[in-house]
Structure 1
Amino acid sequence: MLSRSTRSILTRASKVQPAALRMYSSSEGSVGSTRSDGSSDAFTKREKAQEDFYVKQHEKEQLAQLREQLKQQQKKIDNLEEKLDNITK
């Protein structure tokens, strides 16, 4: 025999509404789908150009940050070498 708590859990579980189901068409004419002949439209070209631009900008920012870090490290190295020279004199 089932305990009272098990029966209440089973009763609540049976009352739960099924989750909503989304259906998408997979026809070739759908927006954003690839074309079978390999051609591309203006939207696809513009989107690729925007993505490429974003990637290049992001890489430029990263390079600028790395160059700044390199300058700071070089300053630290120069200071340490100067201290070492003063100690050895």
Structure 2
Amino acid sequence: MKIKDDLTINSMSLGGYEIPIPKGLSELLNRAGAWKYRAPGLTQSESPLKDYDRKVVKENGHLRTYLTYKKPIEKSRENKKVS
């Protein structure tokens, strides 16, 4: 279900750092139909970044997000049961 009312973005943050809101961002997202209604009590679907560690750092006055893939632990072939 799409939200019919216009929403206004009042603040944004990334990794604990406050980010200035560009002029017209709320209007852009409202016109694009970027908002969805989620019924209260429903759990959020699994994050696409669940296999990544996320770190936000400020370098040279810019915010940078580092995503590091968490490699799954491979089970040894010795422990694998073969029938």
Could you state the TM-score of these two structures normalised by the residue count of structure 2? 0.25
- Going by fraction, where is helix more abundant, 1 or 2? 1
- Going by fraction, where is strand more abundant, 1 or 2? 2
Looking at both structures, which has the greater relative contact order when contacts are Cα pairs under 8 Å and sequence separation is at least 6? 2
Whichever of the two has the greater Rg, that structure is 1
Could you state the TM-score of these two structures normalised by the residue count of structure 1? 0.24
